[in-house]
């Protein structure tokens, strides 16, 4: 009968009228953010980074700029290059996370924040100093070792570079970084 | 029944039976036909009882530097078969091929897009204008010599 | 005596509340009646096909996210299938199930948006059904965030599988979703599926006959609404679709109501597929051990296609042996479905124009690429 | 000389008080003018405050219907939101589109606002508490509300925008068509109560006219929601089709005034419904709480309007016209006919209807309403049959077998 379905629709809205709103009042309330969230504030662990620039090569937009210095003490130690520049142009970043996927030494992690609005583009470039000083709340995206520990990036605790790696922190004592073959992550 | 890919050679043989002039060459997947005979071939493919290619999936063009391939992917909603018909256009300037808009109206926007990005004119198209780029844009971006 | 009238041309868009993005439609009206309509595209053209020629096979996955941004998962799937065909590899079984599941979740999300906006364009103020649709979609997006850390631009799949296994909490929230979503859907159906106003607005408006639909190469729900029995998930099963059982809704005359109805029914079928996948999925590899930088043999080509929420989404790839494809062509369903728009609109009224446009469910990211 | 007008206002208690206290301070004519200005200010301010609250209330209500929250940032429960909106709109640039008729463009908001305020003047909130108790109140309301169609048309015409023209033409068409059933539905009330004065109509309601004339209320509700451009009849400003219809080009304070007029129209319509159909200030509580009852009734009406708006989609222009002329007009005529016959038969020797008569009419009219709705349903039911023969849900197997037959 004409009108019955309309009344049915009206009843649906009335039922929803009595329900609690599903929206979240953002600054006060927050939705639960999953550990794999690909956010800003890249967590970078200088101790692990060899300056291989895999991330820069793998970035689809080419927004990572790495300048390394092969001279000085770095060569003598035989471990890695000294990084002079590690710029991430965050304003062009699309947070696909391929740089993290490319990193063979677990040195670069996605961050977990999303509230880094800035007023100028130059502020949006993450420099090596920013990376060094930024809070280390890495996301567990493409990092199974963190997921295995049930790590929650939003809990606020910072992780040191020893804690985030999938091997013990002194792996470099027994083998040289360049010779090391990353085991397939799925075997973990 | 499931969609079935027809072997290119089978189609080529079938086409050669009708008119040996049509087919240029074929491989396991594609049939290359002569650009002049495109409309005739398409009409035959549409009307032949074993094929009835009434659905045009997509038209693509590929720039191979010395020639362009225009690729027609056809499906039949009746016999559930699929073939790929290609046509090579040699040279780089003033390329043209017959439009299949009269057979499949779905080709309309796709042919305009190919003209826009690849620079192949489709003769007999009702509205051969640029689709994605603006009028007055110079060059055809998907060509390998663009940038 | 007849009234002397003068046709009036209006540009609907590129800034208009219901053109689904920056889409422009030049329409000539005689009073309220449409006598001519021409779509004008290109406001969101980003040259994805050209960009793909400069990137390696894995990097392109992130480009495909941005095509149909309401259904990134199926875009990824179509692209990855094309690359796998090119490399002649096949994803592991678990990856296939994961892909099927996530693609169906994405189909639900995309159809919810389509239906929500369709009803919004019918004029429900403030989009009450749209809000209900978004409420349900939000849960799917939450699950995607658990899965891959993003909600819209997912990049979940990789050539040769998916990038990672879902976390354990994904499965529990999926179970919860499967349990609670049917009632949400029933609520939406109660709200408007049989509503009389909706009926008189959409029934027998802008019909598209089966012959015309086939001739215009439309695909997906629009094609099925016209009564053409065509579904790539059944006809040409990819991933795990051959291992699940589901039904395909077929419309009758292809009017706006049929297109809406087909989408609503497909959501239910998607739920069935997901349920079966959850039952059938078994532990195993989720990704092939492929090199990070893929190289396809020289001269090979492939055409990978899926039944995306909007229609047949295909990727044509041609490799010259390098690390990036020599040519990538995207067969985007939205663009080709759009070629039928002038047929649908001419002779109908201004109000029907918006609804017909909504019933095709275009997405400008995919139309302009 | 102006004091000649005294007699007209003498019945009004507020006017008498203010004028009496002022006339001791200044000459009679200036006291009349000052009182008039005070009255106008009072009226306009009541109107503006209530519309401001209305915008907040409607947004909150719509929010809850959509399981959202609605504006809740500014002040307690977001109550100061209208003020924030107003400040924001006040400081917008005063844009007048090129090629528009500038004078008409500026006049439009006033033209749209004016009738709403003028109608508010005759609405009684309690016995004697009306700014003007006209003995032709119903006629006045119907006459004045039609003026807004002029405003809508000038808005569309002057803004030199084709969407606005669409909205204007649609709006005027709807307003003119729906005026007819609305007038006829109110005629029934006038016949029963035997007066056009709103005060008399309220007093005539021994039982609310909602029960005596259910069909009249139905027609009036639908018709007035069409006149106010509210869903499902909001084609004049259909936001998904023609942006904002006739007020597409209006921004800043002009937009604010047009919006205020729209929300004000809703309050005024709700008040009319409350007075004419729901018994005005009569209720179980003592008489001095009449304002409370009328407020409750108005709020209920506003809630129902918002509820309908949140649920139903919009009709197309031809369907709206067809619904008016083929659906509402017959309904209102049947209602009028029934009322006329019943009144003719039941009327006592003094020309009055007793309470028993009203109850008899209530029963008869309810039956007539149900019958009319069912008959109208039968006439249009073939269009809305939810079952469809061609559509089907095929299983995979059926889909695969399909091709083999050919």
**Per-residue model confidence as pLDDT tens digits over D263-272:** 888 888 888 8
Within a domain: C110: yes
The pLDDT of residue A181 is above 50: no
Summarised one tens digit per residue, pLDDT across range D207-257 is 777 778 888 888 888 888 888 888 788 888 877 788 888 888 888 888 888
Q: Please give the pLDDT value at position D13.
A: 65
- Contact status of B52 with chain C (Cβ, < 8 Å): no
Alpha carbon D267 to its chain centroid, in Å, reads 7
Within a domain: A123: yes
CA atoms of C257 and B42, how far apart (whole Å): 34
Task: Compute how many other C-beta atoms are within 10 angstroms of the C-beta atom of residue B25.
Answer: 13
Residue of D nearest to C119 (CA): D313
Residue of B nearest to D404 (CA): B1
Which residues in chain C have their CB less than 8 angstroms from residue A8's CB? 190-191, 194
Residue of D nearest to B51 (CA): D406
The CA distance from A33 to the nearest CA of chain C, in Å, is 8
Q: How many B×D Cβ pairs under 8 Å?
A: 10
Summarised one tens digit per residue, pLDDT across range B59-117 is 888 888 888 888 888 888 888 888 888 888 888 888 888 888 888 888 888 888 888 88
Q: How far apart are the first and last CA of chain D?
A: 97
CA atoms of D122 and D200, how far apart (whole Å): 13
- Contact status of B60 with chain C (Cβ, < 8 Å): yes
Within a domain: B137: no
Chains touching C (3+ CB pairs < 8 Å) = A, B, D
- Which of C86-95, C123-132, C334-343 bottoms out in mean pLDDT, i.e. has the lowest? C123-132
Cis peptide bond prior to C106, omega within 30° of 0: no
Q: Do the chains contact at C119 and D234, CB–CB below 8 Å?
A: no
Which candidate from D162, D310, D319 shows the least CB-CB separation from C128? D310
Residue of B nearest to C300 (CA): B29
- Which residue, C27, C37, C39, is CA-closest to C364? C39
Which residues in chain D have their CB less than 8 angstroms from residue A28's CB? none
Within a domain: B109: no
**Torsions phi, psi of C327, nearest 5?**
-150, 135
The CA distance from B42 to the nearest CA of chain D, in Å, is 21
Query: For chain B, how many structural domains are there in total?
Result: 1
Residue D30 CA: distances (Å) to CA of C115, D23, D44, D131: 64, 8, 21, 19
Which residues in chain C have their CB less than 8 angstroms from residue D384's CB? 196, 199-200, 203
CA atoms of C326 and D104, how far apart (whole Å): 62
**Torsions phi, psi of D40, nearest 5?**
-60, -45
pLDDT band at D382 (very low <50, low <70, confident <90, very high): low
Which candidate from C149, C187, C285 shows the least CB-CB separation from A97? C149
pLDDT band at A172 (very low <50, low <70, confident <90, very high): very low
- Contact status of B105 with chain C (Cβ, < 8 Å): yes
Q: Do the chains contact at D394 and C248, CB–CB below 8 Å?
A: yes
Which candidate from C149, C194, C285 shows the least CB-CB separation from A141? C149
Within a domain: B113: no
pLDDT band at C340 (very low <50, low <70, confident <90, very high): confident
What CATH number is attached to the domain comprising B82?
A: 3.30.460.80
B–A touching, 3+ CB–CB pairs within 8 Å: no
The CA distance from B76 to the nearest CA of chain D, in Å, is 10
Neighbouring residues of D40: CB distance < 8 A, sequence distance ≥ 6: none
- Which of C135-149, D30-44, D334-348 bottoms out in mean pLDDT, i.e. has the lowest? D30-44
The pLDDT of residue A173 is above 50: no
Alpha carbon C14 to its chain centroid, in Å, reads 21
Alpha carbon A167 to its chain centroid, in Å, reads 19
Within a domain: A148: yes
Mean pLDDT of C282-306: 83
Which residues in chain C have their CB less than 8 angstroms from residue D166's CB? 32, 350
Query: For chain C, how many structural domains are there in total?
Result: 1
Within a domain: C17: no
Residue C40: strand pairing partners? C24
- Contact status of B3 with chain D (Cβ, < 8 Å): no
Q: Please give the pLDDT value at position C4.
A: 81
pLDDT band at A171 (very low <50, low <70, confident <90, very high): very low
- Contact status of A10 with chain D (Cβ, < 8 Å): yes
D317 neighbors D173 (Cβ within 8 angstroms): yes
Q: Residue A55: which domain range?
A: 35-152
Which residues in chain D have their CB less than 8 angstroms from residue A22's CB? 67-68
Within a domain: C46: no
Q: What is the CA radius of gyration of chain C?
A: 21
Within a domain: B128: no
Which residues in chain B have their CB less than 8 angstroms from residue D403's CB? 1, 78-80
Q: Please give the pLDDT value at position D4.
A: 45
CA atoms of D130 and D13, how far apart (whole Å): 9
The CA distance from D94 to the nearest CA of chain A, in Å, is 29
Task: Compute how many other C-beta atoms are within 10 angstroms of the C-beta atom of residue A30.
Answer: 10
Q: Do the chains contact at C145 and A102, CB–CB below 8 Å?
A: no
Q: What is the mean pLDDT of chain D?
A: 80
Residue C36: strand pairing partners? C28
The pLDDT of residue D357 is above 60: yes
> Length of chain A, please?
188
The CA distance from D311 to the nearest CA of chain A, in Å, is 6
DSSP one-letter code for C165: P
Question: D interface mutation test: which of A2, A11, A24 has the most D CBs within 10 A?
Answer: A2
H helix or E strand, kind and range, residue A137: none
B–C touching, 3+ CB–CB pairs within 8 Å: yes
Q: Residue B38: which domain range?
A: 4-96
Within a domain: B30: yes
pLDDT band at B3 (very low <50, low <70, confident <90, very high): confident
CA atoms of B14 and B9, how far apart (whole Å): 8
Q: Please give the pLDDT value at position C89.
A: 87
Q: Please give the pLDDT value at position D406.
A: 42
- Contact status of B80 with chain D (Cβ, < 8 Å): yes
C297 neighbors C204 (Cβ within 8 angstroms): no
Which candidate from C59, C165, C191 shows the least CB-CB separation from A98? C59
Strand boundaries in B34-112, DSSP class E? 55-63, 67-75, 81-90, 95-98
Task: Compute how many other C-beta atoms are within 10 angstroms of the C-beta atom of residue C268.
Answer: 18
pLDDT above 90 covers what percent of chain C? 2
C264: helix, strand or coil: helix
> Cβ-count burial of D356 within 10 angstroms (0-12 exposed, 13-18 middle, 19+ buried)?
exposed
Mean pLDDT of D376-388: 65
Reported ipTM: the value is: 0.83
Query: For chain A, how many structural domains are there in total?
Result: 1
Within a domain: C9: no
**Torsions phi, psi of C309, nearest 5?**
-55, -30
Which residues in chain D have their CB less than 8 angstroms from residue C203's CB? 383-384
The pLDDT of residue D58 is above 70: yes
CA atoms of B52 and C362, how far apart (whole Å): 29
Summarised one tens digit per residue, pLDDT across range D271-300 is 888 888 887 777 776 666 777 888 888 888
Q: Residue C96: which domain range?
A: 56-151+167-363
CA atoms of D137 and C341, how far apart (whole Å): 52
CA atoms of C10 and D205, how far apart (whole Å): 52
- Contact status of D371 with chain A (Cβ, < 8 Å): no
The pairing of strands C301-308 and C247-250 is unpaired
Q: Please give the pLDDT value at position C146.
A: 87
CA atoms of B10 and C69, how far apart (whole Å): 40
Which residues in chain C have their CB less than 8 angstroms from residue B3's CB? 232, 235-236
Residue C269, token pair as written in the block? 């079928």
Summarised one tens digit per residue, pLDDT across range A134-152 is 888 888 888 777 777 777 7
- Contact status of D321 with chain A (Cβ, < 8 Å): no
Summarised one tens digit per residue, pLDDT across range D170-189 is 888 888 888 889 888 888 88
Higher pLDDT, D131 or B34: B34
Q: Please give the pLDDT value at position A177.
A: 39
The pLDDT of residue D326 is above 80: yes
What angle, 0 to 180 degrees and rounded to 10, lies between the N-to-C axes of helices C168-188 and A4-18?
140
The CA distance from D175 to the nearest CA of chain C, in Å, is 18
- Which residue, A6, B113, A16, is CA-closest to C335? B113
CA atoms of B106 and C213, how far apart (whole Å): 9
Q: Please give the pLDDT value at position A169.
A: 46
Q: What is the mean pLDDT of chain B?
A: 84
Q: Do the chains contact at C147 and A2, CB–CB below 8 Å?
A: no
> Cβ-count burial of B123 within 10 angstroms (0-12 exposed, 13-18 middle, 19+ buried)?
exposed
pLDDT band at D405 (very low <50, low <70, confident <90, very high): very low
Within a domain: C43: no
The CA distance from D299 to the nearest CA of chain C, in Å, is 20
What angle, 0 to 180 degrees and rounded to 10, lies between the N-to-C axes of helices D252-276 and D147-158?
160
Residue D352, token pair as written in the block? 């009055």
Which candidate from C58, C167, C285 shows the least CB-CB separation from A36? C167
> Cβ-count burial of A173 within 10 angstroms (0-12 exposed, 13-18 middle, 19+ buried)?
exposed
Q: Which of residues 7-26 of B touch C (CB under 8 A)?
A: none
The pLDDT of residue A128 is above 80: yes
Residue C184 CA: distances (Å) to CA of A36, C189, C262, C267, D289: 28, 9, 18, 12, 44
CA atoms of C74 and C102, how far apart (whole Å): 8
Mean pLDDT of A36-45: 84
Within a domain: A120: yes
Q: Please give the pLDDT value at position D232.
A: 80
Within a domain: A21: no
pLDDT band at D388 (very low <50, low <70, confident <90, very high): low
DSSP one-letter code for C167: P
The pLDDT of residue C309 is above 60: yes
Q: What is the mean pLDDT of chain C?
A: 86
Mean pLDDT of B30-43: 85
- Contact status of B102 with chain C (Cβ, < 8 Å): no
The pLDDT of residue C75 is above 70: yes
CA atoms of D355 and D197, how far apart (whole Å): 20
């Amino acid at each position: 009968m004409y009108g019955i379905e309309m009344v049915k629709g009206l009843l649906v809205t009335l039922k929803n009228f009595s329900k609690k709103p599903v929206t979240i009042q953002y600054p006060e309330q927050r939705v639960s953010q999953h550990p794999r969230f690909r956010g800003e504030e890249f967590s970078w662990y200088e101790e692990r980074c060899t300056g291989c620039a895999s991330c820069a090569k793998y970035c689809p937009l080419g927004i990572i700029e790495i300048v390394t210095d092969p001279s000085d003490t770095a060569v003598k130690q035989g471990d890695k290059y000294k990084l002079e520049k590690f710029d991430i142009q965050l304003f062009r970043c699309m947070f696909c996370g391929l740089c993290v996927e490319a990193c063979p030494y677990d040195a670069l992690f996605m961050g977990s924040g999303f509230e880094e609005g800035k007023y100028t583009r130059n502020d949006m470039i993450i420099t090596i100093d920013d990376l060094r000083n930024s809070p280390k709340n890495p996301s567990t995206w493409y990092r199974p070792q963190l997921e295995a520990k049930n790590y929650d990036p939003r809990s606020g605790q910072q992780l040191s570079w020893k804690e985030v790696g999938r091997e013990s922190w002194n792996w470099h004592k027994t083998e040289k970084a360049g010779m090391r073959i990353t085991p397939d992550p799925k075997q973990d | 029944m499931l969609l079935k890919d027809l072997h290119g050679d089978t189609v080529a043989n079938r086409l050669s039976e009708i008119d040996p002039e049509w087919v240029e060459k074929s491989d396991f997947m594609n049939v290359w036909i002569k650009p002049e005979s495109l409309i005739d071939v398409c009409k035959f493919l549409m009307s032949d009882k074993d094929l009835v290619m009434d659905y045009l999936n997509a038209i693509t063009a590929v720039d191979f530097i010395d020639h362009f391939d225009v690729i027609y992917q056809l499906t039949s909603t009746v016999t559930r078969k699929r073939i790929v018909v290609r046509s090579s256009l040699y040279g780089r300037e003033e390329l043209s091929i017959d439009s299949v808009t009269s057979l499949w109206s779905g080709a309309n926007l796709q042919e305009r897009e190919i003209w826009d990005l690849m620079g192949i004119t489709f003769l007999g198209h009702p509205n051969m204008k640029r689709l994605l780029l603006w009028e007055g844009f110079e060059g055809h971006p998907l060509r390998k010599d663009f940038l | 005596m007849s009234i002397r009238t003068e046709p009036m041309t209006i540009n609907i868009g590129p800034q208009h509340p219901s053109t689904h993005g920056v889409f422009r439609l030049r329409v000539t009206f005689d009073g309220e009646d449409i006598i001519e309509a021409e779509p004008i595209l290109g406001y969101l053209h980003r040259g994805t096909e050209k960009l793909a020629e400069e990137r390696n096979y894995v990097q392109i996955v992130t480009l495909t996210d941005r095509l149909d941004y309401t259904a990134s998962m199926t875009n990824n799937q179509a692209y990855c299938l094309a690359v796998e065909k090119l490399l002649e590899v096949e994803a592991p079984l678990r990856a296939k199930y994961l892909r099927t599941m996530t693609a169906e979740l994405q189909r639900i999300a995309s159809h919810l948006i389509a239906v929500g906006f369709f009803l919004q364009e019918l004029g429900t103020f403030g989009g009450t059904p749209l809000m209900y649709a978004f409420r349900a979609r939000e849960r799917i997006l939450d699950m995607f965030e658990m899965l891959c850390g993003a909600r819209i631009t997912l990049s979940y799949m990789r050539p040769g599988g998916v990038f990672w296994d879902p976390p354990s909490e994904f499965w529990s929230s999926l179970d919860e979703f499967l349990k609670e979503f049917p009632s949400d859907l029933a609520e939406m159906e109660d709200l408007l599926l049989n509503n009389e106003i909706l009926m008189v607005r959409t029934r027998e408006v802008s019909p598209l006959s089966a012959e015309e639909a086939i001739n215009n190469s439309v695909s997906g729900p629009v094609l099925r609404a016209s009564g053409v029995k065509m579904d790539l998930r059944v006809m040409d099963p990819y991933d795990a679709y051959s291992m699940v059982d589901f039904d395909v809704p077929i419309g009758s005359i292809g009017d706006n109501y049929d297109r809406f109805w087909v989408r609503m029914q497909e959501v239910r079928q998607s739920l069935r597929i997901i349920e079966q996948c959850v039952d059938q999925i078994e532990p195993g590899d989720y990704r092939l051990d492929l090199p990070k930088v893929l190289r396809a043999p020289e001269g090979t080509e492939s055409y990978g296609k899926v039944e995306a929420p909007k229609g047949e989404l295909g990727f044509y790839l041609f490799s010259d042996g390098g690390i990036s494809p020599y040519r990538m062509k995207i067969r985007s369903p939205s663009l080709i479905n759009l070629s039928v728009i002038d047929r649908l609109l001419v002779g109908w009224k201004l109000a029907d124009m918006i609804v017909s446009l909504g019933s095709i469910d275009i997405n400008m990211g995919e139309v302009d690429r | 000389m102006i004091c000649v007008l005294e007699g007209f206002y003498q019945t009004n208690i507020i006017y008498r008080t203010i004028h009496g206290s002022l006339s001791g301070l200044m000459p009679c004519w200036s006291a009349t003018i000052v009182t008039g200005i005070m009255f106008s200010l009072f009226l306009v301010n009541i109107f503006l405050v209530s519309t401001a609250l209305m915008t907040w209330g409607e947004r909150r209500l719509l929010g809850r219907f959509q399981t959202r929250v609605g504006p809740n940032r500014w002040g307690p429960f977001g109550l100061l939101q209208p003020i924030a909106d107003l400040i924001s709109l006040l400081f917008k640039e005063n844009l007048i589109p090129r090629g528009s008729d500038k004078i008409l463009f500026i006049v439009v908001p006033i033209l749209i606002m004016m009738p709403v305020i003028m109608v508010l003047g005759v609405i009684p909130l309690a016995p004697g508490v009306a700014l003007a108790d006209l003995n032709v109140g119903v006629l006045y309301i119907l006459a004045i509300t039609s003026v807004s169609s002029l405003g809508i048309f000038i808005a569309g015409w002057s803004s030199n925008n084709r969407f606005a023209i669409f909205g204007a033409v649609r709006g005027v068409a709807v307003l003119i068509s729906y005026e007819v059933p609305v007038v006829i539905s109110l005629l029934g009330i006038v016949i029963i109560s035997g007066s056009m004065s709103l005060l008399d109509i309220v007093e005539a309601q021994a039982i609310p006219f909602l029960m005596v004339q259910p069909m009249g209320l139905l027609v009036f509700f639908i018709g007035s929601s069409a006149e106010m451009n509210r869903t499902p009849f909001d084609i004049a400003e259909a936001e998904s089709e023609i942006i904002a219809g006739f007020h597409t080009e209006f921004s800043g304070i002009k937009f604010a005034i047009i919006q205020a007029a729209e929300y004000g129209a809703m309050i005024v319509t709700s008040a009319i419904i409350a007075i004419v159909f729901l018994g005005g200030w009569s209720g179980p509580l003592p008489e001095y709480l009449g304002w409370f009852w009328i407020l409750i009734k108005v709020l209920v009406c506003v809630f129902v309007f918002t509820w309908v708006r949140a649920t139903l989609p919009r009709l197309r222009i031809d369907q709206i016209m067809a619904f008016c002329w083929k659906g509402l007009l017959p309904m209102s005529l049947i209602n009028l006919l029934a009322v006329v016959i019943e009144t003719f038969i039941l009327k006592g020797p003094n020309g009055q209807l007793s309470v028993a008569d009203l109850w008899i009419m209530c029963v008869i009219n309810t039956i007539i309403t149900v019958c009319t709705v069912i008959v109208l349903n039968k006439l249009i039911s073939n269009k809305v049959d939810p079952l469809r023969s061609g559509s089907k849900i095929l299983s995979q197997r059926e889909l695969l077998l399909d091709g083999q037959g050919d």
